[in-house]
Amino acid sequence: MRDIKKLVSLFFVGKVAKNMPYIPPEIVKRAEEMDLLTYLQNYEPEELVKVGNGTYTTKTHDSIRISNGLWNWFSEGVGGKNAISYLMKVKNYSFLEAVETIIGNVNVKKPVIHKEEKQDNIELVLPQKSNNSECAKIYLMSRGIAPEIINECINDNLIYESLPNHNVVFIGFDDSKSPKYAFYRGTNKTRFMGEAKGSDKKYTFRLEAKTQCTRVHLFESAIDLLSYATLLKMKNIDWHKENMISLGGVNNPSKINENNKIPIAIKEFLEKNPNINEIHLHLDNDEVGRNASKSLQDVLSKKYTVLDRPAPLGKDCNDYLKYVLGIKKLNKNAKEKVCEVAR
């Protein structure tokens, strides 16, 4: 690493500078053009782990997802579109160190662009199922999810507990009721989570309306979806009458415009349900969630009524549910706001 940094310093300024060297804009641009997948494939291949069709994680952080030229670290709520952002946000490099690392590697070895092989028929590998779901139930109830909703999802095979680690697993099915997607989450204090190998994001975890409904509600995670269903139940609103879809995470668009991609889960659902005319966005209250929400409004508002409905308080729907239930503490002003909204 020291040799690489020395090479870069020489390349930048002709000598190893004691103070921060001037970096020519064209060099910065070259570094910024390096996407994370290409960087890891060429310079840290031992860190890269494939988890699905075109989707990768890292050996060090299994809640990171890399796909479609973007990356997201779900457990920390950060993401980006290139290797520089990864080195800075995940490895805590300074901007200079990130640029030095990328350009230094490129000067030693030019990157090879690996074409992703199409694997449309990759088989879903489901985690082994436990004989009971007690750990999963206890965990979900600790997040405030209504026991009746949990039990119904378990009975419908939408949720189960896995072995040997007793994770809670959320299942998505295709039209023939075959499992095509699985997202697992640790039931202990660690933030262990991820998608099962072979998961197809066309069929993310969802609760579809039992009766005719022209609305669909979108969430970043299965926990947020179940939290919203619980909040509806608490207001004596029949959650069975609503379409609710977990997107399995969202990307943070670098620019918000009409060319941004629609998550494949909602794109597939809308194509199969032409009666839908209203979309409710319940994405997180962080930077990624707010940007993704604005992006979806831009893309979808020409054809649908799109309503931005984030949680009134907290980071997400589950945070808000825990506030309402008193699981999570609030200051006085926040308590008054929760009581007002809950009424």
The sign of the dihedral angle between the CA atoms of 305, 215, 250, 225 is positive
Q: Say what the pLDDT of residue 147 is.
A: 97
**CATH number belonging to the domain at 128-342, selected among 3.40.1360.10, 3.40.50.920, 3.40.1260.10, 3.40.50.980:** 3.40.1360.10
* Model confidence band, residue 334 (pLDDT cutoffs 50, 70, 90): low
Pairing of strands 179-185, 193-195: antiparallel
* Model confidence band, residue 152 (pLDDT cutoffs 50, 70, 90): very high
Name the CA dihedral angle for 60, 65, 66, 69, rounded to a multiple of 10 degrees.
Answer: -140
* pLDDT per residue as tens digits for the range 28-52: 888 998 999 999 999 999 999 887 6
Q: Residue 204: is its pLDDT beyond 90?
A: yes
Mean pLDDT for all residues in the chain: 84
Q: Say what the pLDDT of residue 279 is.
A: 97
**Position with higher pLDDT, 10 vs 310:** 310
Share of the chain above pLDDT 70, in %: 83
Tokens of 304: 């649908």
Q: Residue 125: is its pLDDT beyond 90?
A: no
* pLDDT per residue as tens digits for the range 282-299: 999 988 889 899 999 999
CB 205 within 8 A of CB 173: no
- Identity at 340, one-letter amino acid code: E
Minimum mean pLDDT range among 162-176, 202-216, 244-258: 244-258
What are the residue ranges of helices labelled H in the chain?
Answer: 2-13, 25-32, 36-43, 83-89, 95-108, 134-142, 147-155, 222-234, 264-272, 287-300, 317-325, 332-342
Q: Say what the pLDDT of residue 108 is.
A: 86
In CATH terms, are 2-108 and 128-342 the same topology? Answer: no
What residues does each domain of the chain span?
Answer: 2-108, 128-342
Q: Say what the pLDDT of residue 316 is.
A: 94
Fold of 2-108: DNA Primase; Chain A (3.90.580)
| Beta bridge partner(s), residue 280 | 217, 307
Q: List Cα–Cα distances, 116 to 34, 52, 55, 296, 317, in angstroms.
A: 17, 12, 10, 27, 36
φ/ψ (deg, to 5) at 164: -90, -5
Say how far apart CA 204 and CA 183 lie, in whole Å. 8
